[in-house]
Amino acid sequence: MRAARLIKMVLLLQSRPSMTAAELARELEVSERTVTRDAQALSEAGVPVYADRGRTGGYRLIGGYRTRLTGLARGEAEALFLSGVPGALREMGLEDAASAARLKVSAALLPSMQGASRTAAQRFHLDAPGWFHEPAPSELLPAVADAVWDDRRITARYRRPGGGGEPERDVERELEPYGLVLKGGVWYLCARVESGTYRVYRIDRFTAVTAGETRFARDPEFGLPEFWEERAEQFARAILRTAVVVRLSGTGARQLRHAVGRASAEEALDAAGPPDGEGRVTVTVAVESEDVAYTQLLTLGPEVEVLEPPGLRARFTEAAARTARLYE
């Protein structure tokens, strides 16, 4: 424990011109008294740690001292590529590994380049979850992430949603965990099942995960981004089971993608005929259901007129009448 802390202290001092005892104590999560003792121990071991006294003093390495203890462990190197997604690192239990990796990289850089990571962090940040969504990561996510990193088979029990009056039920599967995807604050596992096909599972539906000792042979042709893009497109199309016919103003046509989604809007507008005498176009839009269409298209206000189905048009007629009464 102390040896690791001493190495980290050397790496910190190597990556910066100097650091105060308070700064080192905060980074190492110890007291300033412990920092003083550790600096003394390093000095006695031959590491040229120099202490500047006074109110603006601190610790620094002298004589151009450079340690070679900067080699990245495998886990640190892998975590480094996720360092732009701090929330995801936390949820997968990789925050410490990423911190150690960043420190080693900073220590290995030339002095003129050591501010690069801080400069980038001040200018770019990825906030993965959507607005008004409180992510609730599963407690089993770190175990799944470990299995993904190590290519270990897992036995997973998960809640399968009910349908057609059927209740939810627990199902157990042997999985080869290929990759994790964070979509809008929700974690998904892409895994290969016994049949050799690939499926997607929501991590928050897992109720138990046990990692085996055997590793699986990963298919070198499998690409996680490509697989996810294809599967996401299939899912988006599969849920669009209803068609509605609407007339759109120019403004409504431009805003349609924000109401029903880009793919559905572009497909509808590409198939549209020329504008009518009022400058409106008639399009057929694929939607999930009439209830969903009502909620989505209502955001367009007077820029949309629903023509079919009759039941949805009647709902819009009634909504327009209620709105008009509010403003009489």
Instruction: pLDDT band for 116, please (50, 70, 90 cuts).
Output: very low
Which pLDDT score is estimated for 84? Answer: 47
Output the CA torsion sign for 265, 269, 272, 274.
Answer: positive
Contact of 183 with 88, CB cutoff 8 Å: no
Which distant-in-sequence residues (6+ apart) come within 8 Å of 174 by Cβ?
A: 153, 154, 155, 193, 194
Total-model pTM: 0.51
Q: Predicted confidence band at 78 (pLDDT cuts at 50, 70, 90)?
A: very low
Rg of the Cα atoms in the chain: 29
Quick one: DSSP state of residue 309?
S
pLDDT for residue 6: 77
Q: Is 296 exposed, middle or buried (0-12, 13-18, 19+ CB in 10 A)?
A: buried
Residue 77 near residue 97 (C-beta atoms within 8 A): no
Residue 109 confidence class, pLDDT cut points 50, 70, 90? very low
Strand partners, 321: none
Alpha helices, H only, 124-167? 141-150
**pLDDT for the residue numbered 301:** 93
pLDDT for residue 51 is more than 50: yes
Beta bridge partners of 159: 170
Q: Which two tokens stand for residue 96?
A: 């410490």
Looking at the predicted structure, is the pLDDT value of residue 88 above 60? no
- Please answer whether residues 106 and 15 qualify as being in contact, where contact means their C-beta atoms are separated by less than 8 angstroms: yes
What is the per-residue pLDDT for 103?
A: 55
pLDDT the model gives residue 80 = 43
Q: Burial code of 153-174, b = ≥16 C-beta within 10 A, e = fewer?
A: bbebebeeeeeeeeeeeeeeee
Question: Which of the pair, 178 or 64, is modelled with greater confidence?
Answer: 178
d(Cα 283, Cα 287) in Å, to the nearest integer? 12
| CA nearest to 201, candidates 223, 173, 222 | 173
- Which 8-state DSSP code applies to residue 21? H
Residue 95: per-residue pLDDT: 57
**Which region, left, alpha or beta, applies to residue 126 given φ > 0 means left and ψ of -120 to 50 means alpha?**
beta
Concatenate the DSSP letters of all residues of 87-130 into one string: HHHHHHT-HHHHHHHHHHHHHHS-GGGTTHHHHHHHH-----SP
Residues 263-318 have pLDDT tens digits of 889 889 999 989 999 999 999 999 888 998 999 999 999 999 999 999 999 999 99
Q: 151-203 pLDDT, tens per residue?
A: 999 999 988 775 556 677 788 999 999 988 877 777 889 999 988 899 999 88
pLDDT at 313: 95
123, pLDDT greater than 70: no
pLDDT computed for residue 55 by the predictor:
66
Which of 66, 70, 69, 81 minimizes the C-alpha distance to 104? 70
Model confidence pLDDT, tens digit, residues 6-39? 777 877 887 777 888 888 888 888 888 898 888 8
Interval 199-254: pLDDT, tens: 999 888 899 999 988 899 999 888 888 888 888 877 777 777 889 999 999 999 99
Count Cβ atoms below 10 Å from residue 194 Cβ, excluding itself. Answer: 9
